[in-house]
Amino acid sequence: MNQLQSRQENSINFVYLVNHEYSLNEDEVEVKRIGIYTSKAEAEAAIARLRLQPGFRDLPESFVIHRYEIGKDYLTDGYDPSIEDQTDR
């Protein structure tokens, strides 16, 4: 079975990663991984559930949804080890 056949059988082509991201200072960003969902609607529902919880309610605009394609390579050009999070390059 090739990768395309496998993806068609699974029928999930994308996942949605929800993070809560905000700047600590000029050089640092705090990232809290909330969850991974099979639809954008599920990701938005997770944000709605958490938006009023302690900590999150102080920065409700800091929720971010990242869409990732299943079976796709990321960081294909390598990475700089001095930079902590490079997954969205």
**pLDDT in the model for residue 89:** 44
Q: Is the confidence at residue 8, as pLDDT, over 90?
A: no
Edge to edge, the sheet with strand 29-37 lists 29-37, 14-23, 63-69
State pLDDT tens for residues 21-65. Answer: 999 998 899 999 999 999 999 999 999 999 999 999 999 999 999
**pLDDT in the model for residue 5:** 56
The whole model's pTM is what?
A: 0.74
**pLDDT in the model for residue 33:** 97
**pLDDT in the model for residue 9:** 56
CB 40 within 8 A of CB 65: yes
Please return the burial class of 65, using the count of CB atoms within 10 Å of its CB with bins 0-12, 13-18 and 19+. middle
At residue 31, what is the residue type? V
Nearest to 88 by CA among 10, 19, 41: 19
Report the range of poorest mean pLDDT among 2-6, 65-69, 74-78, 80-84. 2-6
Q: Is the confidence at residue 2, as pLDDT, over 70?
A: no
